[in-house]
């Protein structure tokens, strides 16, 4: 599993909001993620405690000793597969009879406007997926670039590549060396002998990609904070049912397709496809139960796209974007239109027509699922999504049981606190706590998807004495995370009730994307109180008065402050100010300045207008 770096200061809005929504990563780079993240953090100036200078071995030389298993005959395998398949069919029929599928249980609602597009997936009218894309933002994540290598850093085991944006892209050596398919995919042997793939080792990288040379890369993560985008040479272009991997000859099939007979059928289809010898492909989860002609058509479209990419690679000068990830509307059709989706409702006729055109290439019958929304009432209001979004993205999220969770995104981590709230329960306190924690575990997993929370996440569950209760909560979290497209890694709950986990993400959280840091509080979420400011001003006045020359008479100081602070000084602290005037034989005047920040004040000499103290200027307060 991937380990995520801590979020860095300055996670401000960058160039993308939405990213790719694939089933899972295509290539296996999880085993080197910690090393890559450490190098990337150090390159961004964040420093690291991890050793990043270790020499990586070529993936092609890594060997694992396979565990010996007793061999089964083909007859035994075939019989076992048939029994499993038949049993699953019987179970499914029974489930359908006992709990038939509700009509309209899953809907995709699209709000397409001039400045942004929003997509919500509802399951039984409950918001389960949410994606937003600003139309003026450049789609960087998953796009392919022809870049120029600017420099190589052997200390970091990385190259920095100019792709035509503000910050150079970070390319770790592990993302240059040959890679195997991710563990989420089963490798499928080709019918013909695989080509002899030219292998590259670490020592070959400076020769193959010296500074000034061109390189073809794909963006894995967009720029966040001080970090530039992270890129890889392991390209992949997703279609509806297939993912084309142009620079690898590996074939694979998603392990989420569990039926043995269906997997065997899809493997034969994959082997029979006219995939060039120097390219590979994998079958996505959406390919389950699809006919061969859909895969043939999908491959043809992907090959046409790749030919266009190759032409741009040949003709366009570096740096240049040679493949742009489709917009949110097209990605929604590609990634969310599954058999269980009853309707796609959109409030833009032009976008609806484009969706129908995309769907018709796969299934004309499915075009009937697209509905155009014409009512004056906003589409998200009509489907009760606006209210759910307001509840979802507030700091405090209520639970049905009466409990609630508090979610705080900080620079270092995301903290989630679970509370019983109004759910006090009866005499059995342990069962009450378990019930709230189980409900909170489900809601936390939903919130992480909706908010696109990433990095280190710490969940403070209500303390549970029994190990069995802690394990039940852990199991619920793991089960609910299976539907999450982002890679996660979860640790068991500690004796203190803390669960630590990491969640991979390719772009900013929704909160970072749609909110700017507050200029007034500098993103702290709080400001100094009027009492605190009164103490600081009186302290500074005492300092000035004690340094004053003994022969200075008729001393007059003017204090300019925010109206709230002036009220505190002249009303609440009036006696203290009068005593100060008597003690130091000085006249103190206070003037309110409505434009002053709450933490700003200025002290001037009333006789010559000399500014003696100027604290918290507007520029400082809003910087």
Tens digit of each residue's pLDDT (9 = 90 or more) over 175-199: 888 877 777 788 888 876 555 556 7
At 167, is the secondary structure helix, strand, or coil?
coil
Q: What is the pLDDT of residues 397-442, one digit of tens each?
A: 999 888 999 999 887 889 999 998 765 655 678 888 999 999 999 9
319 prior amide bond cis, ω within 30: yes
Q: Where is pLDDT greater, at 91 or 320?
A: 320
Q: Where is pLDDT greater, at 441 or 517?
A: 441
- C-alpha angle with apex 63: 62 to 65, nearest 5 degrees? 155
Mean pLDDT over all residues of the chain? Answer: 81
At 221, is the secondary structure helix, strand, or coil?
strand
The pLDDT assigned to 346 comes to 94
The answer, yes or no, to whether residue 248 has pLDDT greater than 80, is yes
β-pairing verdict for 414-419 and 404-409: antiparallel
The pLDDT assigned to 222 comes to 80
Residue 418 is inside which H or E element, if any? strand 414-419
At 16, is the secondary structure helix, strand, or coil?
coil
Backbone angles phi, psi at 266, to 5 degrees: -70, -35
185, 255 Cβ separation under 8 angstroms? yes
Residue 536 is inside which H or E element, if any? helix 530-547
Query: Rounded mean pLDDT of 538-554?
Result: 82
Q: Where is pLDDT greater, at 249 or 95?
A: 249
397, 443 Cβ separation under 8 angstroms? yes
The answer, yes or no, to whether residue 278 has pLDDT greater than 90, is no
The pLDDT assigned to 187 comes to 86
The pLDDT assigned to 393 comes to 79
* CA–CA gap between residue 14 and residue 10 (Å, rounded): 10
User: Two tokens at 190?
Assistant: 């080709």
The answer, yes or no, to whether residue 104 has pLDDT greater than 50, is no
The pLDDT assigned to 296 comes to 93
Query: Rounded mean pLDDT of 525-539?
Result: 92
User: Two tokens at 193?
Assistant: 């002998």
The pLDDT assigned to 57 comes to 43
pLDDT-based confidence at 91, cuts 50/70/90? low
The answer, yes or no, to whether residue 352 has pLDDT greater than 60, is yes
The answer, yes or no, to whether residue 51 has pLDDT greater than 70, is no
The pLDDT assigned to 619 comes to 44
The pLDDT assigned to 189 comes to 86
The answer, yes or no, to whether residue 522 has pLDDT greater than 80, is no
Query: Rounded mean pLDDT of 68-81?
Result: 54
The answer, yes or no, to whether residue 247 has pLDDT greater than 80, is yes
The pLDDT assigned to 249 comes to 87
* CA–CA gap between residue 503 and residue 489 (Å, rounded): 7
Helices 74-98 and 260-272 cross at an angle (nearest 10°) of 120
β-pairing verdict for 116-123 and 169-172: unpaired
Would you tell me how many other CB atoms lie within 10 Å of the CB of residue 298?
Answer: 26
The pLDDT assigned to 549 comes to 72
The answer, yes or no, to whether residue 311 has pLDDT greater than 70, is yes
Percent of the chain topping pLDDT 90 = 43
Percent of the chain topping pLDDT 70 = 78
* CA–CA gap between residue 224 and residue 39 (Å, rounded): 15
The answer, yes or no, to whether residue 498 has pLDDT greater than 70, is yes
User: Two tokens at 18?
Assistant: 């939405």
The pLDDT assigned to 101 comes to 43
Query: Rounded mean pLDDT of 243-247?
Result: 92
Name the DSSP class of 606. Answer: T
pLDDT-based confidence at 98, cuts 50/70/90? very low
The pLDDT assigned to 182 comes to 73
The pLDDT assigned to 482 comes to 85
Q: Where is pLDDT greater, at 289 or 102?
A: 289
The pLDDT assigned to 392 comes to 76
The pLDDT assigned to 310 comes to 94
144, 218 Cβ separation under 8 angstroms? yes
pTM of the model: 0.69
- C-alpha angle with apex 115: 112 to 120, nearest 5 degrees? 40
The pLDDT assigned to 612 comes to 92
The pLDDT assigned to 597 comes to 92
Choose from 16-20, 199-203, 503-507 the range with maximum mean pLDDT: 199-203
Query: Rounded mean pLDDT of 436-463?
Result: 92
């Amino acid at each position: 599993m991937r380990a995520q770096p801590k979020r860095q200061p300055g996670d401000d809005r960058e160039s993308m909001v939405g990213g790719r929504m694939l089933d899972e990563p295509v290539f296996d780079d999880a085993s080197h993620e910690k090393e890559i993240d450490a190098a990337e953090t150090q390159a961004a100036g964040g420093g690291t405690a991890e050793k990043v200078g270790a020499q990586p071995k070529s993936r092609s030389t890594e060997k694992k000793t396979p565990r010996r298993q007793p061999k089964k005959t083909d007859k035994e395998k075939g019989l076992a597969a048939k029994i499993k398949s038949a049993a699953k069919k019987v179970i499914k029929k029974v489930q359908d009879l006992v709990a038939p599928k509700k009509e309209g249980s899953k809907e995709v609602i699209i709000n397409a406007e001039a400045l942004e597009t929003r997509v919500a997936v509802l399951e039984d009218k409950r918001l389960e997926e949410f994606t937003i894309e600003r139309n003026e933002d450049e789609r960087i994540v998953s796009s392919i670039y022809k870049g120029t290598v600017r420099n190589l850093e052997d200390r970091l085991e990385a190259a920095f590549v100019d792709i035509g944006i503000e910050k150079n892209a970070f390319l770790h050596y592990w993302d240059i060396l040959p890679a195997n398919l991710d563990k989420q995919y089963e490798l499928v042997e080709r019918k013909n002998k695989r080509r002899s793939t030219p292998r590259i080792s670490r020592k070959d990288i400076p020769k193959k990609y010296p500074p000034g040379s061109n390189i073809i890369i794909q963006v894995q993560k967009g720029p966040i904070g001080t970090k530039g985008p992270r890129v890889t040479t392991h390209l992949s272009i997703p279609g509806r049912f297939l993912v084309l991997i142009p620079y690898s000859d590996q074939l694979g099939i998603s392990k989420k397709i569990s039926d043995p007979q269906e997997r065997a059928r899809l493997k034969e289809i994959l082997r029979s496809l006219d995939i060039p010898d120097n390219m590979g492909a994998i079958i996505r989860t959406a390919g389950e139960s699809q006919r061969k002609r859909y895969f043939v058509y999908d491959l043809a479209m992907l090959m046409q796209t790749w030919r266009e990419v190759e032409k741009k690679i040949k003709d366009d000068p570096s740096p240049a974007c040679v493949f742009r990830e489709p917009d949110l509307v097209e990605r929604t059709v590609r990634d969310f239109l599954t058999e269980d989706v009853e309707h796609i409702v959109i409030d833009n006729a032009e976008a609806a027509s484009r969706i129908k055109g995309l769907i018709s290439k796969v299934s004309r019958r499915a075009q009937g699922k697209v509905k155009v929304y014409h009512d004056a009432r906003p589409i998200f209001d009509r489907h009760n999504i606006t209210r759910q979004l307001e509840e979802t993205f507030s700091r405090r999220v209520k639970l049905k049981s009466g409990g609630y969770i508090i979610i705080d995104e900080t620079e270092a981590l995301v903290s989630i606190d679970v509370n019983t709230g109004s759910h006090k329960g009866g005499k059995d306190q342990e069962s009450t706590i378990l019930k709230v924690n189980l409900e909170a575990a489900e809601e936390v997993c939903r919130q992480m998807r909706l908010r696109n929370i990433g990095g280190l996440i710490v969940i403070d569950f209500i303390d549970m004495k029994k190990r069995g209760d802690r394990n039940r909560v852990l199991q619920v979290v793991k089960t609910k995370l299976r539907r999450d497209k982002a890679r996660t890694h979860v640790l068991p709950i500690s004796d203190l009730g803390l669960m630590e986990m990491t969640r991979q993400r390719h772009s900013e959280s929704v909160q970072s994307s749609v909110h700017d840091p507050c200029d007034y509080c500098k993103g702290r979420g709080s400001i100094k109180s009027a009492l605190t400011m009164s103490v600081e001003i009186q302290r500074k006045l005492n300092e000035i008065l004690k340094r004053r020359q003994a022969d200075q008479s008729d001393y007059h100081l003017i204090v300019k402050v925010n109206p709230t602070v002036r009220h505190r000084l002249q009303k609440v602290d009036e006696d203290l100010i009068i005593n100060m005037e008597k003690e130091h034989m000085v006249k103190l005047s206070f003037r309110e300045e409505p434009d002053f920040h709450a933490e700003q004040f200025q002290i001037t000499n009333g006789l010559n207008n000399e500014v003696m103290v100027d604290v918290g200027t507007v520029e400082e307060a809003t910087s």
